[in-house]
Structure 1
Amino acid sequence: MDNRNFIAKRAAAYFQSGDVVNLGIGIPSLCGSYAVDGVLFQSENGFIGIGSTVKEGLMKNNRFVNAGGVHFIPVPGASAFDVAMAFGVIRSGRLAATVLGGLQVSAKGDLANWSTPGRAFGMGGAMDLCNGSRKVIVAMELVAKDGSPKIVETCTLPLTALQCVNHIVTDRCVINVTPEGLVLSEIRKGHTVEEIQAAVEPKLLVAPDLIEMEED
């Protein structure tokens, strides 16, 4: 399994049947393939009940497009509504979780995920999702393409939200954000605590019951 799907599969393990969950673009969008039955996916442009992506060669219905512009097949019982109601769902705390990509996560759980120097795509609904969801899961590679840390003491990129992240799921480990600090709770086979610590800026606490991440 490639790293992106490995991350998505682990992030999806946080979902339970009956949860309403919002998925961001990129790695988070892959989580739907690994969710247990009964999870309902929500989109900021006005859907609950987003199903599988329409595969190439099949007829696409332009009424069924998620917030990332991807055509999908609605599940039985899906609902469609306007954007105002979609954000009402988010802001009223009805989302069990959101999974978002990350550019930086700070030691306190601050998230920066929408802008880098010279490139700004717009924050979209991420600010609302970070503040309205009961659980915020960041799914990302542990380090940037140039090897620099993405888990930092303090975010230097424009912030999405403050102290919002609960779990960071990466290609090498899972880190939980707690009042005591960042806790390394799971590690992938072939990696070490020392290696993970060297790849992040904040001092990590190691869970006494540190476990190995599941592989296919």
Structure 2
Amino acid sequence: MNARLTPTQMAWRAAQDIADGAYVNLGIGLPEMVAKFQPPGREAIFHTENGILGFGKAPEPGQEDWDLINAGKKAVTIKPGTAFFHHADSFAMVRGGHLDVAILGAYQVAEKGDLANWSTGPKGVPAVGGAMDLVHGAKQVAVITEHTTKDGKPKLLEACTLPLTGVGCVTRVYTNLAVIDIEGGRFILREKLAALSLDELQSLTGARLHTDGAVADINAPEV
């Protein structure tokens, strides 16, 4: 099975579910691209924990202002109304429950909503960073991740084997093969690639996939 969404298509799909006016934190890596794909007529207010609220998509190559970066040290653009603030104020927003959505990357997601996204073991990064605050401060936590590791092992599991970022925190997962909700300690399949059968998808998933009504096809444009 060769058909898979590209990283930009995954970011596009996640962007379609963000409500107009939502306050959204975009994690490092794949989630950063979500800022590029706001649907027409909708405008989210993007937050980065190093102290910007209301930034826009990445600038064109050569147009970067390196005084304007997100938490992943990637250049961003600013829009009318953009606010800058102290790191402590940024985390007060996170911990105070003022963010509607956090969109993060993941190494593993468990069917009960547990998330492992900061360490792959003893040689990984030395601290969990702001992700631990985000997963329990935001009203909703979504994940964008490849469905499997580079060597084909499932990233969606019955239980995470890597150090946890948060317990029972993830509500929706966007992969390069499917869109999956987490409800009642189960993976509920909402969408999948049309070229992929349910049995094929199940074989690439480390926990049982449940269905609740019809499973839609993912219709992602070339972006």
TM-score tier after normalising by the smaller chain length: over 0.9
Residue equivalent to 2:6: 3
Residue equivalent to 2:189: 184
Distance 1:2 1:106 in 2: 22
Residue equivalent to 2:84: 80
How far is 1:166 from its partner?
0.4
**Higher strand residue share:** 1
State the AA in 1 paired with 2:106.
G
How far is 1:155 from its partner?
0.6
| TM-score normalized by the length of structure 2 | 0.92
Q: Say if 1:59 and 1:45 are closer, same or farther in 2 by CA, change over 3 A.
A: closer
Residue equivalent to 1:204: 209
Distance 2:140 2:64 in 1: 35
1:147 equivalent among 147, 152, 163: 152
How far is 1:180 from its partner?
5.2
Distance 1:23 1:59 in 2: 19
Alignment of 1:1-216 (within 5 A): 3-36=6-39, 37-58=42-63, 60-62=65-67, 64-121=68-125, 122-179=127-184, 181-216=186-221
How far is 1:52 from its partner?
2.2
The answer to whether the Cα contact below 8 Å between 2:186 and 2:210 also exists between their aligned partners in 1 is yes
> Residue deviations 1:22-65, cap 9 Å, x none?
11111111111112342110010111011122322225251x22
Q: Say if 1:143 and 1:191 are closer, same or farther in 2 by CA, change over 3 A.
A: same
> Residue deviations 1:83-135, cap 9 Å, x none?
11101111111111011011000110100001113432232211111001111
Distance 1:151 1:77 in 2: 39
The answer to whether the Cα contact below 8 Å between 2:29 and 2:72 also exists between their aligned partners in 1 is no
Distance 2:20 2:140 in 1: 15
Distance 1:33 1:59 in 2: 15
Identity over the aligned pairs, expressed in percent? 35
Match of 1:52, SS state, is coil
Most deviating of 76-85 and 47-56 = 47-56
| TM-score normalized by the length of structure 1 | 0.95
Match of 2:169, SS state, is coil
Aligned residues: 215
State the AA in 2 paired with 1:70.
K
State the AA in 2 paired with 1:106.
A
State the AA in 2 paired with 1:130.
V
Alpha-carbon RMSD across the aligned residues, in angstroms, is 1.5
Distance 2:94 2:8 in 1: 26
How far is 1:16 from its partner?
1.3
Ranges in structure 2 where 5+ consecutive residues have no aligned partner: none
